Amino acid sequence: MRCLPVVLLLVCLVALPGAPTPPAQVLDRCLVVDRMTVGPVSIDPVAGRVEVMEGGAASPYSLYLPDADNRMLRIGYASGKASVRDYLFVNAHRGYLDRAVGLTADAPLRLERPHRASFAVLGYLGERYLCLMEVHGQGDRTGQRSAYVARIPRGMGADMRLYYKQSDAIPPAPR
């Protein structure tokens, strides 16, 4: 009888849903984040070239950081050596690529060309989302696009749940 509250607590914790899937408008906007249009999803692009910071022989990661001056959020991609997991980050929040939920295809474990990725913070209905978009193929206007999106948690240190979406053609800009 004494363990009943503990059992009920464990059942409640297991039954809690994970982070909800980002709205379709946010996912679609991330796929075309390089094309500025007016719509219900606000875009705060993290402009600038992506700089690579090598961690040295002791560090298992190389960091890919947009060189824009964003005083509020530290955003980037950490690519590890074979034995460690790659992740996107916003301040202390991490979202691991190997745990991303594939909405249209299985999410790859690494970015193809992280130095060419587009980073942005999207806003929709009072929530903020990290957006990372990659163009695959020969040019920005052709080829496949993929996006990782995660709601940025309000609490300190919580992990982000990444969602991955792929598009075979350039999707029309959301309105």
Give the pLDDT mean for 43-60. 71
Would you say residue 11 lies in a domain? no
Would you say residue 7 lies in a domain? no
Would you say residue 8 lies in a domain? no
Give the pLDDT mean for 149-153. 96
Would you say residue 4 lies in a domain? no
Stated as kind and residue range, the H or E segment containing 79 is: strand 75-80
Q: Above 50 in pLDDT, residue 153?
A: yes
The tens digit of pLDDT for each residue in 113-139 reads 888 899 999 999 999 999 999 988 766
Would you say residue 9 lies in a domain? no
Q: What is the pTM of this model?
A: 0.80
Give the residue with greater pLDDT, 84 vs 48. 84
What is the Cα–Cα distance from 19 to 17, expressed in whole angstroms?
7
Range of the domain at 118: 16-167
Looking at the structure of the chain, the number of domains it has is 1
Would you say residue 47 lies in a domain? yes
